[in-house]
Structure 1
Amino acid sequence: MRTRLLPALWLTLAMAGGVSAQTSKIVSGSTKFSVKFILGTCNGTFDAPRGEAVFNEKNPENASFDLKIAASTFKTNNNSRDKDMKSDKYFWVEKYPDIRFKSSKVEKKGDKYQATGTLTMRDVAKNVTLPFAAARNADGTYSLTSTFEVNRLDYRIGEKDWKLKDIVTVMLQATIR
């Protein structure tokens, strides 16, 4: 997936917080992905991200996100594929249990935001910028959404293979309080 999209992948989910600049927790969310392969498109999920977010829509430059997704929660509804993806050939969940995004900068771009920071998978850390949208809900929570692409080979997730595309599309959603 392209390095600029994954930042939101886990970052975007935790990016929106309360109106004040206080630490918020993710109260619900989802992490979905899709990747094309020889037989079509493989869709799957990870559990919702967990972590902390500091967000103020009036001062996004003071925002920060530290998000993690448990790599072992990878699911595609194919037990054989899921087991293989958790092995040392792909995510190697025993050695690298978390996918992490830690922001270094957040800024408003038009009516949306972008978070720049470090995305780490396996033992590879890359600087990425993730786009995201933030909407305040009636109950005072924020809904954050982000869609971005990541090149799996940049993070040593598998090897080059003519049967599997390199670019993975990630869709994150999180509600923070």
Structure 2
Amino acid sequence: MKRARYPIAFAVVLFASAFTFVVSQSWKIADGYSIKFSGSGATGIFKELKGQVVFDEHNLPAAKFDVTIPVSSINTGNGLKNTHAKGSKWFDASKYPVIHFTSSKVTKTATGYDAQGELEIHGVKKPFTIPFTFAKNGNGGTFTGNFDVNRVDFGIGEAGGRVDDVFKLQVTVPVTQ
């Protein structure tokens, strides 16, 4: 009789585990984030970042990034350049007030992770992949990413000229639970 209990117990545990849900970690964006851009003709930062971050390195299918950067938070260190960047020839901040990224899939890579999704800048939406790393530290952690964005792909300014078409971005985002 005891032998019959083990297979039944195993079947019950297996059946119950089919209904177990894994909850991913939801993170709050902490102060001290950094969004730097650089290219010839213009360098600077964006001073604001908002959004939802759901990430658990053990449950990547549930990971989700939905973040926005207000264009008005651009700071090149030069008031005239800031005004120009927000104007209609570049970002057109009054018509397109935010830069928006929404992930659809997060995958593990040899050097960290890739967040694949859609990037919207200047009213143009394009598939985009952001490579990043995540370093957990107690009840928090830090996301770090370095990647390029071609401004011309999003209709920002005209190709060529005194400003690079491709800008390098360095993003560091500390998070807390």
TM over 0.5: yes
Distance 1:155 1:135 in 2: 31
Q: State yes or no: 1:119 paired with 2:119.
A: yes
Distance 2:75 2:162 in 1: 19
Q: Could you list the runs of 4 or more consecutive aligned residues of structure 1 that deviate by over 6 angstroms after TM superposition?
A: none
Contact 2:48 2:73 in 1 (8 A): no
TM-score calculated relative to the size of structure 2: 0.82
Deviation per residue, 1:79-117 (Å, 9 max, x gap): 111100000111111111110000000011124000000
The Cα shift of 1:48 comes to 3.8
Aligned partner of 1:21 in structure 2 is 24
The Cα shift of 1:43 comes to 2.1
Q: State yes or no: 1:51 paired with 2:54.
A: no
- How big is the alpha-carbon RMSD for the aligned residues of Structure 1 and Structure 2? 1.5
Aligned partner of 1:16 in structure 2 is none
Distance 1:104 1:80 in 2: 37
TM-score calculated relative to the size of structure 1: 0.82
How many residue pairs match? The answer is: 154
Q: State yes or no: 1:75 paired with 2:75.
A: yes
Contact 1:48 1:174 in 2 (8 A): no
Distance 2:118 2:108 in 1: 19
Aligned partner of 2:170 in structure 1 is 171
Aligned partner of 1:7 in structure 2 is none
Contact 2:117 2:127 in 1 (8 A): yes
Aligned partner of 2:36 in structure 1 is 32
Distance 2:119 2:156 in 1: 14
Structure 2, unaligned runs of 5 or more? 1-22
User: Equivalent residue of 1:51, what SS?
Assistant: strand
Q: State yes or no: 1:107 paired with 2:101.
A: no
Distance 2:140 2:152 in 1: 36
Q: State yes or no: 1:148 paired with 2:147.
A: yes
User: Equivalent residue of 1:32, what SS?
Assistant: strand
Distance 2:40 2:105 in 1: 31
Q: Which has the higher contact order (CA 8 A, sep 6+)?
A: 1
Distance 1:49 1:133 in 2: 18
Structure whose alpha-carbon radius of gyration is higher: 2
Partner amino acid, structure 2, of 1:27 = A
Deviation per residue, 1:27-59 (Å, 9 max, x gap): 12111000113xxxx320002421001110112
Deviation per residue, 1:47-72 (Å, 9 max, x gap): 24210011101122220010000100
Give the % identical residues.
36
Partner amino acid, structure 1, of 2:156 = I
